[in-house]
Chain A
């Protein structure tokens, strides 16, 4: 591709610890990611995929190498500057959901907007819209304890997309869910990518989940072992099949016009 990539990693290394106990998690990673991609990052435990994800998410800085995000040199930003970059352009989804306990879905989703200083009316409207987008209309006032795992993860996704981020980073988003819920979450991510153009970066070790991505990057031993296009992302074929088994919770997604091949 000729355009300037959204993300450009060059010679990224990351070393934890010092001296004899030092451990090099990344050993020189080069990676370009374009706007609108859906990338699955795979690899065995200790391959460096999580470290790469934290670096991509501006949560951690590389030991050496350069990370350009929209032309900004992330590795030379301060802690606060990286926080501002995160709140402006990035959305996060975690394996463990990480919702605030005893707090309604609505307030959980509003949280990033509070840090962005949005007025109350904007916050309420945006949070309601984001919850509707993930198929949780009518569940705004439920707390995480009253929601299923799949619903909790969808609240977390709503929280990640409420700021209309450029990039959604998902770290094992289906790791705590059963197959059925996992597929629902993957379809949701697929739609966000396909219809809203949000760039999705997802760490997973499950091939079934990686199959939804347009591109699969495999890490082994701190370096990129393979970087391939996925010619047939699974959601294109599976959409109709899953739509038939989706319960009322996901009618929001199905109702948005999933690309059925029936």
Chain B
């Protein structure tokens, strides 16, 4: 009985190709839209989280000027000094490393080529706070840091643009009027949280930058890396207190610096992308619903023709359960086929979009299952239940159905 009924179901699908195709199409669109949207959305969230964790975990960025926004007056605030960073490291507990950062832009010349990039002056702590690893060569020695040696580390973009595939370690690099030796290269970190290229960077001892390139001792940013499990709120308020004293602010003065917690930033940003994912998912859910309504329509429109067909089958001796099994198999085959095609399409589309948006692809089992089950249930429900009603009719009444 199973084999015969399967045969009947497949014949029925074949002779109603258009209807079968439309049914499948509804399921395919619904399933693939939901899966693609949610997968790409999740990928985007993961990408943002990756990029922010690449900034450095447990990192506080201390900058001069008030927090940006209405009433902010960043420009007039005095810069930090190197000693501010040393004081923070020495006087506040729960801190792993503090790196002063001075920054300028410059054209780099080496190997007969030139390239414009950011030049950063700092210490080896800058590598710790920024989660940087060395791809080759070495970090700065204490002598180089103290004396302001003519040495530098370069990011992968600078390596590629100026030196191509040959190792830059040991080569000379000219930054403005100064020539320095490349002593190491940094492992690539890729795109930053704001779309910037983090690898387009040259790092040198802060004294080298101050004395030989910019000609002043201003420090633009203090990067504070907290110990694992440290209380960010306590450290933030301690730093605020210390810096207010060192910058000689009166009780009534507002802070002329601000502290940015990257963890907070990460939470804010990934919260935003999560909302975006939910939004995309909601839009896709609408298409799943529309697909479902399409399936219902097609199934219900064909009920008249199918009722007469059921009447005939009953009249020539089909048992009620044989007719029902046939319709059930039809519905299940169509729904499963549509669901599988939808999942395959969604996987292709997700992979393509993920590559295009350079976000990681993550297979999401629950979304795949959920959208598949939803459309399959609609297909089976609206394929099967009208048939069940028809199969319970007297064959004569079913044959005469208008």
A-to-B contact residues, CB < 8 Å: 54, 57, 59-60, 79-80, 83-84, 86-88, 90-92, 94, 96, 98, 100-103, 107, 111-112, 114-117, 159
Contacts and interface: CB of A to CB of B under 8 A. Distances in A.
A98 B399 contact: yes
A111 B7 CA distance: 11
B125 interface: no
A60 B394 contact: yes
B311 to A, nearest CB: 8
Given A59-B396, A79-B320, A92 B11 contact: no
Contacts of B309: 100
Contacts of A86: 315-317
B308 interface: yes
Contacts of A116: 317
Nearest to A97: B312
B396 A60 contact: yes
Given A101-B305, A117-B1, A83 B319 contact: yes
Contacts of B394: 59-60
A73 B395 CA distance: 20
A91 B312 CA distance: 11
Given A107-B11, A115-B313, A115-B318, 12 more contacts: A79-B320, A83-B318, A98-B311, A100-B15, A100-B312, A101-B15, A102-B15, A103-B15, A114-B7, A115-B4, A115-B316, A115-B322
A114 B10 CA distance: 13
B252 interface: no
Contacts of A87: 316-318
B45 to A, nearest CB: 49
A59 B318 CA distance: 12
B15 A88 contact: no
A80 B319 contact: yes
Instruction: Tell me which of A54, A83, A101 has the highest count of chain B C-beta atoms within 10 A of its own C-beta.
Output: A83
Interface residues on B, range: 20 to 34
B319 A88 contact: no
A159 B316 contact: yes
Interface string B1-38: 10010011001000110000000000000000000000
A146 to B, nearest CB: 14
A249 B398 CA distance: 32
Shortest 3 CB-CB contacts between residues of A and residues of B: A87-B317, A86-B317, A102-B15
B239 interface: no
A6 B322 CA distance: 29
A98 B322 contact: no
A112 B396 contact: no
A112 B317 CA distance: 7
Given A59-B396, A60-B394, A103-B11, A92 B313 contact: no
Nearest to A94: B399
A114 B15 contact: no
Given A112-B317, A117-B1, A54 B8 contact: no
Nearest to A54: B396
Contacts of B317: 83-84, 86-88, 90, 112, 115-116
Contacts of B4: 114-115, 117
B305 A111 contact: no
Contacts of A159: 316
Interface in B298-345: 305, 308-309, 311-320, 322
B22 to A, nearest CB: 15
B108 to A, nearest CB: 73
Contact of B315 (A59, A80, A103): A59
Given A80-B319, A86-B317, A88-B317, A98 B312 contact: yes
B15 A92 contact: no
A123 to B, nearest CB: 10
Interface string B381-396: 0000000000000111
A98 B311 CA distance: 9
B226 to A, nearest CB: 73
A119 B305 CA distance: 28
14 contacts: A57-B315, A60-B396, A79-B320, A83-B320, A86-B317, A92-B315, A92-B316, A94-B399, A98-B312, A100-B15, A100-B309, A100-B312, A112-B316, A117-B4
A116 B399 CA distance: 21
B395 A59 contact: yes
A106 B128 CA distance: 80
A102 B394 CA distance: 25
